[in-house]
Structure 1
Amino acid sequence: MPIFVPASGTLPGGLNPPPIDPLEVPSLSWTDARGRTTLLSDWENGWVLQPGIRGMDLPGYDFYTDASPQIDGNALRGLRAQAREIFLPLAFFDTSRAGFMTRKRSFFSTLNPRLGLGTLAMTEADGSFRTIEAYCASGAEGDFGENSSGLHWQVVGLTFSCPSPYWLGESVHVEYGAGASGSFFPVLPVVVKNSQVLGDTVIDNPGDARSFPVWTIHGPATSVEISNATTGLSFSVTASLGSSDVLVVDTRERLQTAVLNGSTNWWPNLATDSDLWGLEPGENDVSLTLAGTDSDTTVHLDYQPRFLTA
């Protein structure tokens, strides 16, 4: 049975050490819904990731096909990425039974799915990271077999279920504004004449999938239209914003809202033909058209690129 001996030379499990193999992975952490963060390979804290990690790369897909009489093969009509499962084998250990139980119980308390969704984060050596929302679906029930536990150690295989199949990159924030100069600059922020924000800009989404932004519009403005010429979709706000008003239009899937000043539902003030569009991977030709603005009018864009792999 292979044993990984730490730098101190002491075995974590006393006379019955755990089967810990060396494992080279970037930093992987778990943050529960209460904000408690645990580094998953942490010798000092008494847990180490084991070989056998699965589910970090491409998600599974459902493919929808049709067959036609007298035509060989099928026609692909559509597909959808499935919810993702990530499997993490983890060894817990200590030099004493009491220390081992304290460490294991402390970590397992963060896996309670009733707390809500937590976050798995993969961080590379250069500081770049990707995250995915998840909850622990199985694996922490307890297995006390001969090859999975001892007096001072236990190896568990935790399965995390991820409602979205995509890993999220670092948030992107862009600001657009109106100024009194009347000039247009094709760099961010966009500055145009003070009666109207009429800006054409290119937004480059570095992700592998469509990303859905949150738009924050600071008045005044008598009308707002934001469109994506790459997809041909747009949404419009038909009511006026005062100088102190802030409208947040959230286009994210399953979260779509339009809220004024943090409390008032402004969904009825979106044009009936509005589509809360997303940013396609790569370049998107976007136009912002606001009437009745002044130098205080700004539009903020926030989104997280979505990736197929960690």
Structure 2
Amino acid sequence: MPKLLLASETDTLDLNEIADKGLGYQAVTGVTGFGLPPVSVQWLEGAGDGATFRRRRVLTRDIDIRLEILARDRQHLQELTDRLALALDGRCTLTLLDEDGTRWTVEVFRTGGGDYSYGVDTIGEREFSTVITFRSEDPYWTSSEAQFRYVGGSTANPFLSNLAQVEVSASQAIGEIQLDNRGTAEAYPVWEIIGPGRNFLAVSPKGERLAWSGRLTADERLIIDTRKGTVVDQGGANRYAELEEAPRFWTVKPGLSTATAQLEDISAASKITCSWRPRKWMVI
């Protein structure tokens, strides 16, 4: 199976160690929960036949990993099981490594498993096997490789070939941004605006508006994280109140689409960066 890593705040366990080194941890055949996550579908039932679809909500993802440990001796086995227990005590990051080097991650918590049958799963000498059950609050897998698009600035970047920038006037720029989300789920863009400039506006392919009415000097920048719903400057100060009423933190749909971004009172140093990490429903 693909290589897996399990990381806590203080440690990272390689779940392919036995295959690579002959000792350590190994995720073995029987892992479940990497496919499509469950969904909850609501229907409106009336007096007539059938029902009318109302909405769908993607639920949390449950993952079962069959894990084996192979140690040098009894003392080493105790060290490895203690290390596993510490790693599972809190939030963890489960990572699947693709052959092309891309890492797909999901944040998880242990919700069960970890027990064993003495004499079957271990005799306390060198070997130990168990099943660990995790649950992720976000059911999607997120790529380690962020995608970037730019408007303005002087940075020579390969993504600039995908950008058609149109100068409206000496003090205003509007750019069309080609969005290519190579995932299978909606992705959340992060906008970084480098001053000088004021009145930032990003319009989605569907016409949804994310507008910020503020001003940045030449040494200031603004970061709008649509996933977290936060707006901060380079010092971490909250600038959310400068968004227009009822802002739309729109997402990047899978596939190709075109959005626009604009900033007023700009200079040659002004720049808008849009970045996002593709997400997937399932990984193999």
Provide TM-score, normalisation by structure 2. 0.89
- Sort the Cα spacing of 1:209 and 1:220 in 2 relative to 1 into closer, same or farther, 3 A: same
1:202 equivalent to 2:175? Answer no
- Sort the Cα spacing of 1:188 and 1:87 in 2 relative to 1 into closer, same or farther, 3 A: same
Q: What does residue range 20-169 of structure 1 map to in structure 2 within 5 Å?
A: 25-34=1-10, 36-43=11-18, 44=21, 45-70=23-48, 72-113=49-90, 117-140=91-114, 142-152=115-125, 153-169=127-143
Equivalent residue of 1:159, what SS? strand
User: Does the aligned pair in 1 maintain the 2:211–2:243 contact within 8 Å?
Assistant: yes
Equivalent residue of 1:109, what SS? helix
- Sort the Cα spacing of 1:258 and 1:168 in 2 relative to 1 into closer, same or farther, 3 A: same
Instruction: Report how many residues are paired.
Output: 272
- Sort the Cα spacing of 1:194 and 1:295 in 2 relative to 1 into closer, same or farther, 3 A: farther
Q: Deviations over 1:221-242 (max 9, x none)?
A: 12111111x2221111112111
Give the AA of the match of 2:80: R
Q: Kindly state the Cα deviation for residue 196 of structure 1 after the two structures are TM-superposed.
A: 1.6
Give the AA of the match of 1:122: L
Equivalent residue of 2:83, what SS? helix
Equivalent residue of 1:222, what SS? strand
Q: Deviations over 1:42-91 (max 9, x none)?
A: 11342222222100010000011111212x22211111111101100101
Q: Which residue of 2 aligns with 1:309?
A: 282
RMSD: 1.9
* Rounded Cα–Cα distance in structure 2 between residues aligned with 1:243 and 1:111: 46
Greater per-residue strand proportion: 2
Q: Kindly state the Cα deviation for residue 194 of structure 1 after the two structures are TM-superposed.
A: 4.5
User: Does the aligned pair in 2 maintain the 1:64–1:79 contact within 8 Å?
Assistant: yes
Gaps in structure 1 of 5+ consecutive residues:
1-24, 180-184
Give the AA of the match of 1:68: G
Q: Deviations over 1:205-261 (max 9, x none)?
A: 112111111111001112111111x22211111121111111111100xx2111122
Q: Kindly state the Cα deviation for residue 157 of structure 1 after the two structures are TM-superposed.
A: 0.5
Give the AA of the match of 1:222: R
Q: Kindly state the Cα deviation for residue 129 of structure 1 after the two structures are TM-superposed.
A: 2.8
User: In percent, how many aligned pairs have the same letter?
Assistant: 24
Q: What does residue range 172-187 of structure 1 map to in structure 2 within 5 Å?
A: 172-178=147-153, 187=162
User: Does the aligned pair in 2 maintain the 1:178–1:196 contact within 8 Å?
Assistant: no
Question: Bigger CA drift: 80-89 or 279-288?
Answer: 279-288
Q: Which residue of 1 aligns with 2:237?
A: 264
Give the AA of the match of 2:235: G
Q: Kindly state the Cα deviation for residue 173 of structure 1 after the two structures are TM-superposed.
A: 2.3
Gaps in structure 2 of 5+ consecutive residues:
155-159
Runs of 4+ in 1 over 4 A off after TM superposition: none
Q: Kindly state the Cα deviation for residue 37 of structure 1 after the two structures are TM-superposed.
A: 1.9
Q: Deviations over 1:119-147 (max 9, x none)?
A: 1111122323311111222223x323332
Q: Kindly state the Cα deviation for residue 161 of structure 1 after the two structures are TM-superposed.
A: 1.2
* Rounded Cα–Cα distance in structure 1 between residues aligned with 2:152 and 2:92: 36
* Rounded Cα–Cα distance in structure 2 between residues aligned with 1:220 and 1:265: 18
Provide TM-score, normalisation by structure 1. 0.82
* Rounded Cα–Cα distance in structure 1 between residues aligned with 2:26 and 2:123: 16
Give the AA of the match of 2:149: V
Q: Kindly state the Cα deviation for residue 283 of structure 1 after the two structures are TM-superposed.
A: 2.1
Q: Kindly state the Cα deviation for residue 163 of structure 1 after the two structures are TM-superposed.
A: 0.6
User: Does the aligned pair in 1 maintain the 2:163–2:175 contact within 8 Å?
Assistant: no
User: Does the aligned pair in 2 maintain the 1:223–1:236 contact within 8 Å?
Assistant: yes
- Sort the Cα spacing of 1:92 and 1:61 in 2 relative to 1 into closer, same or farther, 3 A: same
